[in-house]
Amino acid sequence: MNESTPEPSESDVLTAASAIVDAFAATDTQSYFSRFAEDASFVFHPESRRLNTRAEYEREWASWLADGWSVAACASSDQLVQTFPGGAVFSHTVDTTVNTVDGSESYRERESIIFRRLGDGELIAIHEHLSTVPDSGGDSSAAGSGAAEVTTNAEEAAQ
């Protein structure tokens, strides 16, 4: 990334984020991970350590799937796009429901995804950070299985 690389448009960032979220919402492993750089890093509050590469996260994801995990529902709100030369930060609040062998679990979390613009103009995610949302008296849990992002542009357009 350098100063001569143009800033992506807000629309470009929302499209890239939506592709990640849509793949996550469908538990589409191949499509989901194809949106992240091989050297992407991941910080998920439920995990005991940072995942330093996409391959590390893919192994973790595979273990969740093997344990019966899948995404049941997701919704995004409070989206913010911040662009800079060569990339962007996308942040939002995400409500996720996952299926596990013990039943369904729901979470409200905040997430940031950092994008880098590639030479062909495509945006690829290079970092993802998931954190809890302070309890405001609601009944949403902030714990999680490390599950990440969720939204669809159709859901946003309908609001």
Residue 47's Cα: distance from chain center in Å? Answer: 15
Question: In this structure, what token pair is assigned to residue 141?
Answer: 């849990």
What is the rounded average pLDDT of the residues 15-36?
95
pLDDT digits (tens, 9 = 90+) for 88-126: 999 999 999 999 999 999 999 999 999 999 988 899 999
β strands within the chain, DSSP E: 36-44, 70-84, 87-100, 103-117, 123-132
Whole-angstrom distance, CA of residue 143 vs CA of residue 159? 27
Going by C-alpha positions, the residue among 80, 91, 77, 94 that lies closest to residue 133 is 94
Q: pTM here?
A: 0.82
Question: In this structure, what token pair is assigned to residue 98?
Answer: 């996952």
pLDDT confidence of 137, banded at 50, 70, 90? low
Whole-angstrom distance, CA of residue 25 vs CA of residue 150? 6
Q: Which domains does the chain have, with CATH numbers?
A: 10-158 (3.10.450.50)
